[in-house]
Structure 1
Amino acid sequence: MKPFSETFIFSSRIVSNASGMQVSRNLFRWTKEIAYADYYERALINGVLSIQRGTDPGVMIYMLPQAPGRSKAISYHGWGTKYDSFWCCYGTGIESFSKLGDSIYFEEKGDTPALSIIQYIPSTFNWKTAGVTVTQQLEPLSSSDMNFRVSLSVSGKTNGQSATLNVRIPTWTSASGAKAILNDKDLGSVTPGSLLSVTKQWNSNDHLSLQFPIALRTEAIKDDQPEYASLQAILFGPFVLAGLSSGDWDAKTGSDVSDWITAVPSSHNSQLMTFTQESSGRTFVLSSSNGSLTMQERPAVDGTDTAVHATFRVHPQDAAMLHGTYGATLKDTSVQIEPFDMPGTVITNNLTLSAQKSAGSFFNIVPGLDGKPNSVSLELGTKPGCFLVSGADYSAGAKIQVSCKSSVQSIGGILEQAASFAQAAPLRQYHPVSFVAKGVKRNFLLEPFYSLRDEFYTVYFNLAA
């Protein structure tokens, strides 16, 4: 199968997304059908939250490309600027963020007032008709915990008046394991794709806990052309997951999603680091991109591909250290070095990438040859006395080489300097919701689409491979 051509790029536009949310909001008001609330949730998470560059105020985007190996930074318009980019669609992007507090609560007045909660967003609603205040809180979500948990607490008193609280049971959850507990009392089975109604005289200290199993699944692309029948997106509940990739999209699937997609343990963040060198007031980082080790200038902003390629997960040979916090203090240890965006692949002593872990894929992290207290050198496990060196020119793009003490004459400490790195805090970390998907040629690190900034990614995967 050929990847999408430049003229065949699936994209999400802010304007159409905003209009769709307005329509779905009104349709829910008229029909109370959960499908419209589910649509609104997905559009809010994957559309609206994706169009601002992290926490950069006012920096929006118009198009969200979904072809393989694309980046928001080089899409149709690319990112705007804080003060100079105000196309009409850019204004719509800023306006869309008003929806973060919109369409969470819907009230019905009458003899028995009702409040429907259809979006799960931390918030507080002053329900004046019923005389109480409803506060909504969410537990942090992670890929290792397959439950989405919501806490609803009530303060105030309805003064003897009954009122109905309706809560959305998302379509993406499962009846098996879904729970609704009111004041420590289990309300029994709940049905995905419906509203759960509780009518009572609400008082302070009333508490409703909701637990929704959240799972991985795939969805086919909305295209009836036969050549694209195998293209599917990967979702975790309502979250669209994107794989860090410059264009690969062939997945190695199994009979069940769990056969080829696994969670990234949060403890792996403690195993991430970046190797740096300083020269003439500039900072360079060891980088792995397209199967090549080079030195690149440290990026000035977060969320770039350079930051991804300059972050490595370091596996100590000693299994007892796997769950320790060693970070920048790692020395005198035999390790494997895994590029952040290629999980399961390690750098070999031949400076290649391999999915096969052998004696030739270990490096000894030893005290830096330059003698500085905080530096380290990366010695080849199969060739003691041979080290990774950056060269002496310190230019971006300079390739990493191997030099050995016995065969290279050090002049003015150049070898020692080129073979010494500082262990710095990682330029990138795993998102709390991160997974590894098996691929035909390589594995993919999956993260929520909305969390990406300038990194190259693939949203649709070819599951026929």
Structure 2
Amino acid sequence: MLMNLLAFLVVGLIWEDVVVVVVGKECTNTPTQLASHTYRYEYLNSHNKSWKHQVLMLSHDHDHLTPTDDSAWASLLPRKVLRQEDEVGWMMMYRQMKNQVGKGQVTGTFLNEVALGDVRLNADSVHGQAQQTNLEYLLLLDVDSLVWSFRKTAGLATPGTAYGGWESPDQELRGHFVGHYLSATAQMWASTGNDALKQKMTTVVSILGECQEHLSDGYLSAFPSEFFDRFEAIQPVWAPYYTIHKIMAGLVDQYVLAGNNQALKMGDNKHLLLAHLFDKPCFLGLLAVKADELAGFHSNTHIPIVVGSQMRYEITGDPLYKEISMFFMNTVNSSHMYATGGTSVSEFWSEPKRLATTLQTENEESCTTYNMLKVSRNLFRWTKEIAYADYYERALTNGVLSIQRGKEPGIMIYMLPLGPGMSKATGYHKWGTKFNSFWCCYGTGIESFSKLGDSIYFEEAGNNPGLYIIQYVSSSLNWKLGQIVVDQKVTPVVSWDPRLRVTTTISSKKEGSSSSLNFRIPFWTTSSAKATLNGRDIPITSAGNFLSVTKKWSSSDVITLELPITLRTEAIQDDRSEYASLHAILFGPYLLVALTTTDSDLKPESDSLSDWITPIPSDYNSNLISLSQESSHNNFALAHNSNSITTIQFPDPGTSNSVFATFRIIPTDPKTRVSSNNVIGKTVMFEPYILPGMVIIEQGKEKSLGIVDSVKLSCDSGESDSGFMAATSFKVNDGISNYHPISFVAKGVNMSYLLQPLYSLRDEHYTVYFKLH
């Protein structure tokens, strides 16, 4: 029954000479295999007419999947989860779902978000730096280029040059990024108050207003309205409703966050009625009866449907929608989630608890993490359950902060590779470009980094107002409800001192009324956690709860937290015995990955991870060097390749070769301190940066240098030949790569591994999951 109604389509697609099989579960009468934006881009740009015809014909086999009759919808429920006697009950359930608009009332209270404009991130924090990188990108974007296709569609003059990628004038998704841009700039302006950005985004809204006025019928988009006609006729077209939603959401954000009244005037209340038409009972119905049938659905098409059902719960109070979203979140967390907190492979959900065979380059579409954060955020506001805040921290740290390429504005990824020996620079999409990508994940990316302050604090009204501090990010909050300013300082986390230290300072111009500050005690800490109020110890709750402190706050009040951070391993979500040994390693919320392109076999020496995973000492960065040599106007670097030493073009930091051209110098005399500044004249050993415990050796006359687990390097010709001296002379530089403050060495079966947080990497190759022997 399921195969007949939630139809699977299998279509071969050639990407760079590699045949990829796209498997899509149908819950629509649209060509479902085209639910993947990547696939649709390839389809619409393909010159293979016979293949495109085949795709279209396959889709028309399922035109019946959008009936309006209630009984037809009821038949979509798979028989394996629906008993015969339940059929009438399901039809009644669907009618109730469909007819609940505007009815009911939510029982209980929700936590409220604080205004984004009342939160400021500290510039020197990881989150503050990510926000700044994104701000620089938003300011780089040219207004005329952004609105080029809007003007073209409206019949106006088109100064400037249109952007490329998915915003190109020949791409049917054009305009989607502009909608995201409107949202992101509104969020970023609220977060920073940047005047230049305010002027730029106001200009965009003004030009869009001109376009809408010139069209005269209220229509506004970067493509003609005929795209909707094609969609309704089930003809190939990219995603007009998707794009129009981004534009409308962006205009709403410009009004709500930036106070732009012109953006509001472009709306129409009758559009509220449109929301119900996007219900998917063939998806929500499965969740309503608690069936894990996610496999085969396009992830980022359906997560927003859950977000929509959450809004329906908040508006109507129908508890069914609360149950749907809670079951969905628990299902993803228990059966479809990677250690990053992300989900999806090649944009789709795989079979539950079968993730071991999905590890590759096309894991975890960035958009899915953006939307899963919305789901967990809403669930936390409803329930105050720490688990949802813990999830938010994990996904934000590993799944969002990981998608920027360091501090380079406008360089982000579509997918987050999780396979062995992968790199963010590999795979189908690789890193995007500033002006010629504009993927869906660029749109959600610029939003994610514009609202990093929106889920640090939540408030609860009442006679004794409460503030919930659920993310530890250096920031300040002007808490108007509590009439105080809360300043949160987080000491940067380091591996050699495994504690999260948070100092929260209160300031107020007058004595505030009594209120409660509630601090999340995350699941990853221990019973050794400590807290003080004004220097005095206070009792602290166990992990997974809130520490609540209530008083009349004054400017002299300081609360400190010291949360021990533990190492742990997590098994991959796969219940097949042959993959039972596959684990990820985490340090608190940080996913640690090995910098390696080879095997990933670890051999624990004991049950205590600290016995075989040890921190890199704080002074090791001073021992890192890179050796350069100029020849024929080229700059070369000494680098290791497998078990030998060679020379390569001198690499830039963050590139895949940078780790191979960096070495730690180890003095033969343990009492001697060496660095790149004083190494000349000293006898030292060279340890390759990503091969801890290995050193370079001379293998004999006329032979190359090699790498073993001990012995010092000596290079001497025995004669004063100038050619030999030139060939063996290198300039000593500071190391191209550096140890991240959160760095460890893990002992493996055949070698040891350098572990660093996934979010800190750029092009370096890494492995996420290890085989524990």
TM-score (norm 2): 0.52
Is 1:25 aligned to 2:374, yes or no? no
Higher gyration radius (CA): 2
Q: CA deviation at 1:75?
A: 2.6
In the alignment, what sits opposite 2:592? Answer: 241
In the alignment, what sits opposite 2:749? Answer: 440
CA distance in 2, matches of 1:53, 1:83: 15
In the alignment, what sits opposite 2:656? Answer: 305
Match of 1:134 among 474, 486, 508: 486
Q: Is the 8 A contact 2:360 2:418 kept in 1?
A: no
Is 1:331 aligned to 2:705, yes or no? no
Q: CA deviation at 1:325?
A: 4.9
CA distance in 1, matches of 2:402, 2:636: 30
Distance 1:4 1:120, change over 3 A: closer
In the alignment, what sits opposite 1:181? Answer: 532
Q: Deviations over 1:133-168 (max 9, x none)?
A: 000001121100011100100000563621111110
CA distance in 2, matches of 1:287, 1:125: 48
In the alignment, what sits opposite 2:693? Answer: 344
Q: Which moved more, 1:120-129 or 1:27-36?
A: 120-129
Is 1:159 aligned to 2:511, yes or no? yes
Match of 1:426 among 695, 718, 735: 735
- Uncovered stretches (5+) of structure 1, i.e. residues with no partner: 365-378, 380-385, 387-403
Amino acid at match of 1:362: K
Q: Is the 8 A contact 1:62 1:93 kept in 2?
A: no
Paired residues in the alignment total 413
In the alignment, what sits opposite 1:38? Answer: 390
Match of 1:204 among 552, 555, 562: 555
Is 1:463 aligned to 2:758, yes or no? no
In the alignment, what sits opposite 2:168? Answer: none
Q: CA deviation at 1:305?
A: 2.0
Q: State, as a whole percentage, how many aligned pairs show the same letter.
A: 51
After the TM superposition, which residues 221-370 of structure 1 pair with which residues of structure 2 at under 5 Å, given as runs? 221-255=572-606, 256-299=608-651, 301-321=652-672, 324-350=673-699, 351-355=705-709, 357=710, 361-364=711-714
SS of structure 1 residue aligned to 2:497: coil
SS of structure 2 residue aligned to 1:63: coil
CA distance in 2, matches of 1:216, 1:70: 23
Distance 1:85 1:326, change over 3 A: same
CA distance in 2, matches of 1:61, 1:118: 27
SS of structure 2 residue aligned to 1:153: strand
In the alignment, what sits opposite 1:369? Answer: none
Q: Is the 8 A contact 2:484 2:512 kept in 1?
A: no
Q: Which has the higher helix share?
A: 2
Q: Deviations over 1:284-307 (max 9, x none)?
A: 0000021121100112x3201211
Q: Which has the higher strand share?
A: 1
In the alignment, what sits opposite 2:502? Answer: 150
Q: Is the 8 A contact 2:666 2:685 kept in 1?
A: yes
Q: Is the 8 A contact 2:356 2:574 kept in 1?
A: no
SS of structure 1 residue aligned to 2:619: helix
Q: CA deviation at 1:102?
A: 1.6
In the alignment, what sits opposite 2:97? Answer: none
Q: CA deviation at 1:332?
A: 2.1
Q: Is the 8 A contact 1:147 1:214 kept in 2?
A: yes
Q: Deviations over 1:338-369 (max 9, x none)?
A: 000000011112122212x2xxx2135xxxxx
Match of 2:723 among 405, 409, 414: 414
CA distance in 2, matches of 1:325, 1:316: 7
Q: Deviations over 1:147-195 (max 9, x none)?
A: 11001000005636211111100110001x2011001121123210101
In the alignment, what sits opposite 2:465? Answer: 113
Amino acid at match of 1:192: A
CA distance in 1, matches of 2:539, 2:463: 27
CA distance in 2, matches of 1:62, 1:140: 28
CA distance in 2, matches of 1:263, 1:414: 43
CA distance in 2, matches of 1:189, 1:4: 39
Q: Is the 8 A contact 1:179 1:190 kept in 2?
A: no
Segments of 4+ in structure 1 off by > 3 A? 3-10, 157-160
Q: CA deviation at 1:405?
A: 3.8
Amino acid at match of 1:35: A
In the alignment, what sits opposite 2:419? Answer: 67
Q: Is the 8 A contact 2:696 2:713 kept in 1?
A: no
- Uncovered stretches (5+) of structure 2, i.e. residues with no partner: 1-354, 700-704
SS of structure 1 residue aligned to 2:488: strand
Highest relative contact order (Cα 8 Å, sep 6+), 1 or 2? 1
CA RMSD after TM alignment: 1.7
Q: CA deviation at 1:90?
A: 2.2
TM-score (norm 1): 0.86
CA distance in 2, matches of 1:8, 1:270: 35
